[in-house]
Structure formats: C-alpha cells, structure tokens
A and B are shown apart, each in its own frame.
Chain A
Amino acid sequence: MADIIRRDPHAEWIARNRLHPLHALIQTNMHGEHARWMGPNGIIRKNPHAALGFSGPNGLRRIDRSGSQQGGAVRRQGEQQASQLLLHRVEEPAFIIAVVPDLIGGRLSSHDRDLLGLARQLAGSSGAVLAVVFGEHRETGFDIAGVDRLLQLSGHEYEGYSPEQRVVALRAIEGQFLPRHWLLPDSRTGGGELGRRFAATLHERPATRVWQVKEGQCIGRAGAGSEDLARPLPKVVLACAECAEPVSEARYEARAVTLADIHSLRVLARIEDMGAVAVDPARVPMAEAEFILSGGNGVQDWDLFHRAAQVLGATEGASRVAVDEGHMPRHRQVGATGTWVTARVYLAVGISGAVQHLQGISACDKVIAINLNPGCDMVKRADLSIVADSNAVLQALIDLVEAYRRGEQREAA
C-alpha cells in the first residue's frame, strides 16, 4: 500500500469550486485526508465544515447520518490508525509468555486473538509475547495482535497431523526460551490436543477451559460444565474463547526469532497421518453437518431434491411433515423434536417454518429459503429467500453447479 500522499491539483481545484458538478464527490473522498488531524496534544482535531455532510442541490449543507457515505472513509481511517498505533518494543524481555495459536486457514482466529490478549496481560510491560507458528501462514497482523516475538517452524515434518513432532518442538522452545507461561487455545481444532500433549510431557497439570485469569488465579470450567475450578495460574494454560479482550491499543514488533538447533528435532512418529477420508455428505451426522439441504411439505419432486443434495454435496434434512409423509427417514428430521443442527448454511426448500423447526436451526449461520409463500416464518428467518417454485429453482441450481464444476475441470485440465 502506497503511503506517499500525492497531490492531485485537479481534484483540489474541484474541491475549491463549489459549483463544479464533481465537487460533492471530491469533498467526501478527501475528508479522510483533510478533515481530521492530530493536534499538538495528541487530540484528534477536525474541520467541522468539511468533516460532515455534503452540499445539496441547492447548495445547502446536508448531513447524511445513515452511515452510507461514511463507509469508505471510516475504513481508510482504520488502516491509517493501525499505522498510527504506538509501537511497543521489548528489547530485553524479563520473561516470555509463549502462545501457540491455532491459525485456522493460516490466519489468526478470534480465539487466537483473545489468547494473545491474555498473553499481553500476563506479559505486562516487561515481558514479551512469543507466538509459535507451525508451517506456513497467511497472517499479516501479528504486530497489531500483540506479538513481540514470532517463531516460525516450517518444514514438511510439521505438515498434516503431526502432534508428536510439534510437542518435541515446543519442548525445545521450552528449553531455549524458558517461558513463564504457555497459552494455548482449548479448541477442538488443534490447540486443545497439542496443549495437553505438551503439558503431559512436562508432567504439568495444565489449567483447562480457562475463562478468566485474574491476579495470579485462574478459573476454568470443570466436569460437565456445572462447576468451575479455581486455582493458581499454572505454567500451561488452555483457555477458552473470550478469555480476555484482544489487543487493540498498541502495535508490537513481531520480531522473528529462531530456534537454535532445529535439526535435532526430528522424532520417529508413532502416529502416521494417512490423510483425510472422503466423507459422503449424506452420511455426515446431521448435527455436525456444515451444509444442509432440507426439504418440507412444499417439495413435490423428491428425486430432484435428492439429486440436488448430491450435486451440491449437501447433507439432507427434512421437516417433520416430510418425515411423517414418509419422504425422508426419521433420523433426518430437523428441529426441536428431531435433531438440533449447527450448519453454516441451511437451505430450506418448501419448509414453512414451524416453531420447533426454527428452534432446531437457531444455531445456523446462513439460512436460505425457497418457498412459494413469502409470508411464511421461514422466509422471515432466512437471510436470503427465493419466492418461486422449488422444482424450477432446484433444477436451475443443479445446472449452475454442474456448469461450474465442468468449468473448473476445464481450468484444471
């Protein structure tokens, strides 16, 4: 991103000329640059004449409070502010707080950021937060997430499922950096397992499912969740999401560090990763499925419905009525009286949305409805609704996806 500010004399001229047809546009574009600046005492100053609104058709100043005009400008400010954040340096850290983020998809998840926030609290001003990253990543914001030191361990031995190799690496880090605390996300996506394996090799009893750390004490959920366990903060901490606020007030170095003897780390794996198993979406348990195509009373052509599910790679679900009618087996029933689902995308075809059904899909992110009745409750719940004949839409969707797949193959070939 180019941070050099270039002058545009033409634009400046338009900005000065209130009668120019492009005057309003230029005004809003330039607000980000010129409407606010930092005063001598560090207080943000702004020009009230330029900061808000625009000139209406009659030359009157109009203020649009809908927010639509500000969208672009605000984002620009955010980026500006990031670079304006005060840089926090720790040259000679008194101690180290080590964090092993999950980095799902190579980026810091919100869980990771919360954990770094907690690490930051524990590090205070004299300690340093060391983030340990396995394999390649795509994260650019380690600095604003609160990382002082970044240790990246890449190599094919860390690829795939390699918990034993990773534990050995963590032990080497333990030996070299002697962190005061180790923080890992207590997640199903890696941190929970890695942290426990690591703690076991250290013969440590980690604090798990920690949701609060305060004054050297931590509180974590115990048992089945009806009790809390309070104890002094141990060396290894596995913390829940939202255990602390993520860092936002300053920028950190994220200085790269390395491990001294990286080559002696190879271990003979006792667990060999033989790769992911292709799981037929139709056989994924509904409660876990990511994408559910669900049919109800309004589905007329069930063969088409099944074909659509197959082509889309969706797990099939159904409303109670569809199950009662015998179109779908009972274990496919979605709802309070059937299965509670957690799909990210829930595509409801011809389901009007009984209360029990809507309860059952309350954990779904995106709900799409195809229904003939625009007034039904499912349409009210849905993020996207198509009011049309379900058969035609399903058929069109099948055609689209098939065309898309063919296109992909051609590209690949």
Chain B
Amino acid sequence: MSDALLDVITLVSVGSHPMSARARRAEQDARAVELGLHLVGDRLTVLHAGNPYEESLRAYLGMGLPALHVLEQPKGADALPVLANYLQEAHVQVVLTGTQAETGEGSGMLPYLLAEALGWPLVVGLADVESVEAGYAQVLQALPRGQRRRLKVRLPFIGSVDNAAPAARQSAFGPARRGEITLEDVEVVDDLLWHEAALQPARPRPKRLKVIKAKTAADRFRAATAKATGEGGQILRDVSPQAGAEAIFKVLCEEGVIR
C-alpha cells in the first residue's frame, strides 16, 4: 500500500451458520476483515456493536487481530447511531463492512444508512483497493460472473464486500484466545423497526406453477399434454470433427459466450 498512514476500520457482526444456525463469524464480515488486514495489516481496527461476551466474536480475533473493539449494546438496539458517532470521531479513510448481516433483519441497509449519516460515498461489492492517493482511492468493484469494474472514489468512503471479495483467512485458536476485547459503553438507542416488525421462521416460498394462459379447452389440453422441452439432448454420432465443432460453435454463439 502506498499510503502508510491509511487507517481502516472493519465493522463486524455475529453470523449464523446456514445449516446449523450456530453463531459464527459472518462470512462477508470476515472477508471485510481480510481485506482490511490486506490493506493495513494489524493496524486494522475491528469494531462490533452488540454483545461483547459473544464467544464467536473471537473467531475474528483468530484471524490475527490483537484486539476487537465493542460498543456494548443489548439485543434489539439500533447499531446505526452509535456506529455513526464512533466513525465520525475515528479519523479513518476507509470503513469496510459486509453486505448483509446473517442474523436479525439482514436488510443490508447498514452501510447505506451509515454512508448517508456520515455523508461519505459508498462502494458496494468492493473486491480490492488498488491504490490510495491524493484523497482518492482507486478500487475494484465485483460484478456478477466474476467481472470487475474500476472506480475512483473520494476518501473517506465506506466499502461493503460481498462473496466476490477474497476469501477470509482461517481463524486460529491461539490468537483468538489471546486477542483482547475492549468495551465501550454507549447510549442505547432502541431500534424502532421491532415495534412493528416481527421475525418468524422462514417459510418455504411457493414454487411458481406453470400457468397455462389458455382461453379454450383445446388450448389447455394441448398445453397439458405438450412434451416438456429440453428432455434428452441432441446426440451427434458419426459426424466429422468439423461438423461436430460447428454444432458446438452454433450453441456457443446462441448463448453469447463467444466474444
């Protein structure tokens, strides 16, 4: 990194394993920590708003962090104002977060609301920070299908990372045990959302049925008895390699993967 004085904060949350729902380090937040470690090494500040005694927070420390700072809040409190206050005072150039929390509301709004509250630009899908100079950062944004876009963003900025960012390093037991969790008491602000919203176990979404838009019985009959398309592929035997290649080439062109 060209700028030795770059200061980076990564915001982390407590995740939940998709299979067992056990608390863990959140996948995207861990990638944000990874990116932060990549940028500034162990000068990275890692910040969490919530319960400081949650064991799974130590998984972040296990990535080689000397300490983790926690703004102590009860469950159901609004993390936004306390984080915004903290960041306002923190004199950092880059704030990294995951895209979406794995527990609670998980609306993915936090980076947006933070950016709005602080008046900072927000880059979503941050994949890498290429350079930081003269008040601007040149970054790579991840697009679907592994594509990348280069952006120039004014400092300070908030970057949210998704699963396209570099994978998080392994969390090791030793540093996790040694790392220090520092507490800060903050004013508790109730999250108003919970006055009107309620969490419930996820219901499986209804599968969309193939709706037959037919006005007449004959059309409905035809649609119901029609052979499903795509059943069984086309098999070309005893063709010349050229003919085979042409057939493949045709499909590739149809699908638009030949550029």
Contacts and interface: CB of A to CB of B under 8 A. Distances in A.
Taking the complex as a whole, does A directly touch B, i.e. does some CB pair lie under 8 Å apart? yes
A388 B241 contact: yes
B199 A228 contact: yes
B258 A313 contact: yes
A196 interface: yes
Nearest to B148: A277
A274 B130 CA distance: 13
A270 interface: yes
A26 interface: no
A245 interface: yes
A336 interface: no
Contacts of A228: 199-203
Given A199-B112, A229-B199, A368-B248, A384 B106 contact: no
A396 B245 contact: yes
Given A196-B109, A271-B153, A231 B193 contact: yes
Interface stretch (A90-98, A202-210, A350-358): A202-210
Interface stretch (A9-17, A123-131, A134-142, A285-293): A285-293
Interface string A264-292: 00000011111111010000110011110
B174 interface: no
A337 interface: no
Contact of A248 (B123, B146, B213, B251): B213
Interface in B111-166: 112-113, 115-116, 121-125, 138, 140-141, 143-154, 157, 164
- Tell me what chain B mostly uses at the interface: helix, strand, loop, or mixed: mixed
Interface in A275-320: 275-277, 279, 284-285, 288-291, 312-315
Contacts of B203: 219, 228
Interface string B221-249: 01001110010011111110110111111
A223 B103 contact: yes
A224 B18 contact: yes
Contacts of B147: 276-277, 279
Contact of A227 (B115, B193, B199): B199
B2 interface: no
A200 interface: yes
A222 B235 contact: no
Interface residues of B, number: 82
A300 to B, nearest CB: 14
Interface string B33-55: 00000000000000000000000
Contacts of A367: 233
A170 interface: no
A150 interface: no
B198 interface: yes
A232 B116 contact: no
Given A161-B151, A205-B107, A345 B251 contact: yes
Contacts of B4: none
Contacts of B113: 200
A395 interface: yes
Contacts of B146: 279, 284-285, 288-290, 315
B62 interface: no
Contacts of A253: none
A386 B247 contact: yes
B102 A368 contact: no
B108 interface: yes
B145 A392 contact: no
Contact of B145 (A289, A400, A401): A289
Interface in A224-268: 224-232, 242, 245, 248
Contacts of B106: 208-209, 221-224
Interface string A343-373: 0110100000000000000000111111000
Given A222-B106, A383-B234, A397 B248 contact: yes
Contact of B107 (A52, A206, A368, A381): A206
Contacts of A279: 146-148
A44 B220 CA distance: 14
Contacts of A193: 124
Contacts of A338: none
B21 interface: yes
B252 interface: yes
A404 interface: yes
A55 interface: no
Most B CB atoms within 10 A — which of A205, A242, A284?
A205
A165 interface: no
B64 interface: no
- A-B pairs, 7 with minimum CB distance: A284-B146, A396-B245, A392-B241, A231-B197, A386-B244, A200-B112, A270-B121
Given A67-B227, A222-B104, 9 more contacts: A46-B216, A188-B125, A223-B101, A229-B197, A231-B196, A313-B258, A366-B251, A386-B248, A392-B241
